[in-house]
Structure 1
């Protein structure tokens, strides 16, 4: 599973409370990308390869929703697929108690409102 990360700024869209429905979408080189705002899409369009290179090594901890370098995570197995979590023991403990919830939240399959709260998105979205 590839967590939804804005390829222009590197923010976790789930952490910001941006749903797949209200994310700014753009197709580039045959792949669909989701952005936190129109400004990030405009930034991406000016130099997509640079943006993709800057955010290529990022993942999102499914518990705390922190954006982390893949090299700074602990890999857990979930249904035969690797999941990168931050190194926080509390996140590992919580993930082990209810992995299905955290995976579903990271995949935009819950009604999580984000750290900015209900109805408040990124960049005045």
Structure 2
């Protein structure tokens, strides 16, 4: 499942509560990347390949929004696609109560205020 992860710091933009319209965008080698703040974009610009290598293989649990390496997750099949969860059994229980909400939230398709609340994102954006 694709979800926006800042390629400089590895944070889930969904977890931080940064909506797509407020995320910092940058195109690198023909691919669009989303950043939590301008500071992370500046870090990325200085060493893009190193940043991409560090964040390659990260995924986000759809329930608790924890960023995890794929090999440290448990995956289920949902509507023909794999969905990776942190290893907490509670996350899977919660997901099963309303899977469509969690999939939409993970894909940046819902309003979610994030861990910092509605008016403050990462780096005071």
Displacement of 1:51 in angstroms is: 0.1
Q: What number of residue pairs does the alignment pair up?
A: 125
What root-mean-square deviation, in Å, do the aligned CA atoms of Structure 1 and Structure 2 show?
A: 0.7
Distance 1:78 1:20 in 2: 25
Q: Which residue does 2:40 correspond to in 1?
A: 40
Displacement of 1:96 in angstroms is: 1.4
Structure 2: gaps (5+ residues): none
Q: Which residue does 1:17 correspond to in 2?
A: 17
SS class of match (1:15): helix
Calculate the TM-score normalised by the size of structure 1.
0.97
Deviations 1:54-86 (A, max 9, x none): 000210000000001101101111211111110
Kept in 1, the 8 Å contact 2:59–2:70? The answer is yes
Structure 1: gaps (5+ residues): none
Q: Which residue does 2:102 correspond to in 1?
A: 102
Q: Segments of 4+ in structure 1 off by > 4 A? A: none
Distance 2:104 2:59 in 1: 15
Distance 1:74 1:95 in 2: 13
